[in-house]
Amino acid sequence: MRYELAPDLQQRESMGSHAGLSRVVENFCLETVQKKWAQRKAEESYGFTGDQLTQVPWTAPALEREWRAAHPERFPWFGAAKLSSRVPKEACRVRAAGFSNFLKSRSGKLVGARVGFPKWRTRKHENRFRYDADRAKPLGTRAVWLPGVGTIATREDMAWLTDRLVDGTARILGATVRERSGRWWVSFQLEVDRAELNERRRVPGNAPQSGIDLGLKTFATIRDGDGNVEEIPAPKPLRRALRTLRRANQKLARCQEGSKNWHKAKARVAELHLRISARRTDFLHKLTTRLARTKSAIAVETLNVRGMAVNRRLARAVTDAGFAEFVRQLEYKTAWYGSRLWKADRWFASSKTCRPCGRIHHGLVLADRVWTCAGCGVLHDRDHNAAGNLLDAMLSDFALGDVVFAGKFPGDVKRLAETK
């Protein structure tokens, strides 16, 4: 759960100091690992082995020991400023996680894209710091306690969180404080018992099954099993704000760097980017929540978003749409509310396949929004046809009545049909 804070000037400065501390500790950890790794390599070249080699502090406890030993001399201001000791501890954990992901990716044990070695953090990066466990916690519905900072008012009511903390259905695992465009937020990492909430909002058993085709002009074409088709227009938050954003960037470019007007113009650009991101997030959350609560099964495409973004003519529109975030939200929300999500194979020709006869139109290009099948002569709307093909593929992928799945539904248990 994320809530916006309403700090005064002194509290802003204190949170900025804690964000700077987190950045210093992360860079210290990176510097320590690099130096000791270079030392270890040098020792290996001289023939040292085993315990004779310098130990590299890859883990969080090892990095914490290095920080505690070094900060009295190298960073005496840490104790003098009376900053929270929990922030360096979490900064060490963040760096240790980055090193772990890098080593796993290097050895092929990490699933997904290749992860590089952690990089230095600078003042140009976002201001953020983190507390472990429930060190940061709500004080009532309109205030938050942050160690080293104090009690800060919130701009939003936190009754949803405080009620669950009182009755024991939620537990705080950690908290991250982050600044964007001059505004501060606190995000609580929670362990929540959602059983009662999910049961109350569980999707009805007779809810329709749907296939969803994603696009740039029409964000989602939703075809239900009863033939009903719904088109969701793409909000295009970046495109709608592009003219205003260009003017703000031009004004920023004309200002002398470091001047008061430059800082004002920079804040204006950041504010516009924040507004664009908020509009996109609001649209995706509202749509995915509605679908997860009203559809018993949902079929979607598996899109290569990174590959699509390589096309310079489509890159801006693809990244503005947020396809990957849409599918990610559907994954966990369908698991919450008892619906199912089915992902088509990446090479499934949903748009090129004629739904009545199954013939594939290999010559179909992106500009063709309607096309006629050469086999049966049926005129197809590209998006409607694709959504129908996705729905049919999902229905054919499991046996109706025996509910035998192909292992593609989050939260479902694969069961073999022993009676067949």
pLDDT tens-digit readout, 2-44: 999 999 999 999 999 999 999 999 999 999 999 999 999 998 8
The DSSP output letter for 152 is E
Decide if 213 is catalytic: yes
Q: Which of 287, 319, 320 is nearest to 212 (CA)?
A: 287
- Shared domain check, 164 and 265: no
Sorting pLDDT into bands at 50, 70 and 90, what band is 405?
very low
In a domain, 412, yes or no: no
In a domain, 119, yes or no: yes
- Shared domain check, 244 and 168: no
In a domain, 417, yes or no: no
Is 403:415 a contact under the CB 8 Å cutoff? yes
Of 90, 301, 320, 392, the active-site residue reads 301
- Shared domain check, 207 and 188: no
Of 213, 224, 320, 392, the active-site residue reads 213
Helix, strand, or coil (residue 365): coil
- Shared domain check, 113 and 161: yes
- The answer, yes or no, to whether residue 409 has pLDDT greater than 80, is no
**The domain containing residue 238 runs over which residues?**
196-396
- Shared domain check, 121 and 101: yes
Determine the pLDDT at residue 303.
Answer: 86
Sorting pLDDT into bands at 50, 70 and 90, what band is 379?
confident
- The answer, yes or no, to whether residue 408 has pLDDT greater than 70, is no
CA distance 178 to 169: 26
- Shared domain check, 20 and 107: yes
CA distance 391 to 401: 17
In a domain, 135, yes or no: yes
Sorting pLDDT into bands at 50, 70 and 90, what band is 178?
very high
Here the tokens at position 343 are 């992902």
Here the tokens at position 9 are 């000037």
Decide if 383 is catalytic: yes
CA distance 134 to 145: 10
Which of 226 and 158 is assigned the larger pLDDT?
158
Determine the pLDDT at residue 406.
Answer: 38
- DSSP conformation letters of 45-71: HTT--GGGSPPP--SHHHHHHHHHHHH
- Shared domain check, 381 and 319: yes
- Shared domain check, 137 and 227: no
- Shared domain check, 334 and 204: yes
- DSSP conformation letters of 91-121: HHHHHHHHHHHHHHHHHT-S-SS--------
Decide if 301 is catalytic: yes
62-98 in b/e form (b: 16+ CB < 10 A) is: bbbebbeeebeeebeebeeeebbebbbbbbbbbbbeb
In a domain, 403, yes or no: no
- Shared domain check, 361 and 321: yes
Determine the pLDDT at residue 361.
Answer: 87
- Shared domain check, 188 and 216: no
Sorting pLDDT into bands at 50, 70 and 90, what band is 305?
confident
Overall number of domains in the chain: 2
Sorting pLDDT into bands at 50, 70 and 90, what band is 376?
confident
In a domain, 371, yes or no: yes
Sorted by sequence, the CB contacts under 8 Å of residue 326 that are 6+ apart come out as: 214, 220, 284, 287, 288
| Strand-strand pairing, 297-300 and 340-343 | parallel
Of 26, 64, 224, 383, the active-site residue reads 383
- Shared domain check, 74 and 184: yes
- The answer, yes or no, to whether residue 190 has pLDDT greater than 50, is yes
